[in-house]
Amino acid sequence: MIPQYKILVENLTVEYNSNKMHQTVISNMSFEVTNNMTFAILGTNGSGKTTLLNSIAKLIKPTSGSTSIISFPTMENNLDITVALLNQDYRQTNYPWASAIENITFPLKFKKINKRKRFEIGKEILNEIIPEVNPVKKVYNLSGGQQQLIAIARAIISEPDVILADEPLSAADTIHTMQAIKAIERIREERKFPMIWISHQIDEALLLGDTIGLLSKKSHGFSRIIENPLGRPRNLIDLTNAEIVKLKAEIIDFLIIDDKN
């Protein structure tokens, strides 16, 4: 039986207490992301997107409630689940002194794949997402957008069971965004894993998300969860459908209202 994975958030509350300041960011939130499903999350700055993702990635301890990533059939050790975390700050996860290809193929080192084969596999992904980048160029010499795409390429190569992504394309241009989305959708078609994809771009959320959650700063939770009217595969042209244009206007309205004090 091929294992399936699920992300579970149960009654999650996260509060920050620093410098005598108390702030509730997430309040009693519950949802699940099942196998082969992408949950895209949109929200204004400071609405708690990173807090939520980092809680799921176990980088933040919740005030109450829980988050988990589980497998079926249940693995003896959930540490065997490969989670690709695309951090909002890609500089925290890339190796700046290493080359583009070394950064991309790093996960293959743990799979006893020889250097020549690693280069070959890495070059394929590089060609798919950022063909203009010289594979031996050091990552610190790449642009911000290119560095973000390197992190995405590495996530793809790790053959993840789950992807947790925090605005991983915020510095990428439209063409590279589309190339990256296509590559992510290609591996999702093969591996059917659950994914959470946080974004600032409504189009990106509509292209990737099967469900789109609008995270509200005011209510510390989702004020609306939208089932994407577009089925997969989704193309740019689909975003011009009247129904989608209307939905985009509603999402913008929500963001403007939620951002007001």
Ligand X SMILES: Nc1ncnc2c1ncn2[C@@H]1O[C@H](COP(=O)(O)OP(=O)(O)O)[C@@H](O)[C@H]1O
> What residue ranges bind ligand X (CB under 6 A)?
16, 18, 23, 25, 43, 45-51
Per-residue binding string, Mg ion, 79-118, x by CB under 5 A, is ---------x------------------------------
Considering CB distances under 5 to 8 angstroms, the limit depending on partner class, which of ligand X, Mg ion, none binds residue 118?
none
Read off the tokens for 222: 């989702």
Q: With respect to ligand X, which residue has the nearer C-beta, 18 or 261?
A: 18
Indicate the pairing of strand 162-166 with strand 4-18: unpaired
Considering CB distances under 5 to 8 angstroms, the limit depending on partner class, which of ligand X, Mg ion, none binds residue 51?
ligand X
Chain residue at closest Cβ approach to Mg ion: 50
Compute the half-sphere exposure of residue 149: CA atoms within 13 Å on the CB side of its CA.
31
- Residues 6+ away with beta carbon under 8 Å from 42: 198, 199, 200, 202, 205, 212, 213, 214, 215, 251, 255
Please report which helix (H) or strand (E) contains residue 25, including its range.
strand 21-33
Per-residue binding string, Mg ion, 44-73, x by CB under 5 A, is -----xx-----------------------
Looking at residue 138, what DSSP letter applies?
Answer: B
Supply the minimum distance, in Å, between the C-beta of residue 228 and ligand X.
21
Considering CB distances under 5 to 8 angstroms, the limit depending on partner class, which of ligand X, Mg ion, none binds residue 18?
ligand X
Supply the minimum distance, in Å, between the C-beta of residue 79 and ligand X.
25
Tell me, by CB under 5 A, how many residues bind Mg ion.
3
C-alpha 169/C-alpha 34 separation (Å) is 23
Neighbours of 181 (CB within 10 A): 21
Supply the minimum distance, in Å, between the C-beta of residue 231 and ligand X.
28
Supply the minimum distance, in Å, between the C-beta of residue 88 and ligand X.
7
Looking at residue 74, what DSSP letter applies?
Answer: P
C-alpha 139/C-alpha 100 separation (Å) is 5
Considering CB distances under 5 to 8 angstroms, the limit depending on partner class, which of Mg ion, ligand X, none binds residue 45?
ligand X
Residue with tokens 């590495």, as numbered in its chain? 154
Burial (0-12, 13-18, 19+ Cβ within 10 Å), 177:
buried
Q: With respect to ligand X, which residue has the nearer C-beta, 15 or 185?
A: 15
Read off the tokens for 36: 């082969």
Q: With respect to Mg ion, which residue has the nearer C-beta, 49 or 176?
A: 49
Residues of this chain that interact with Mg ion (CB under 5 A) are: 49-50, 88
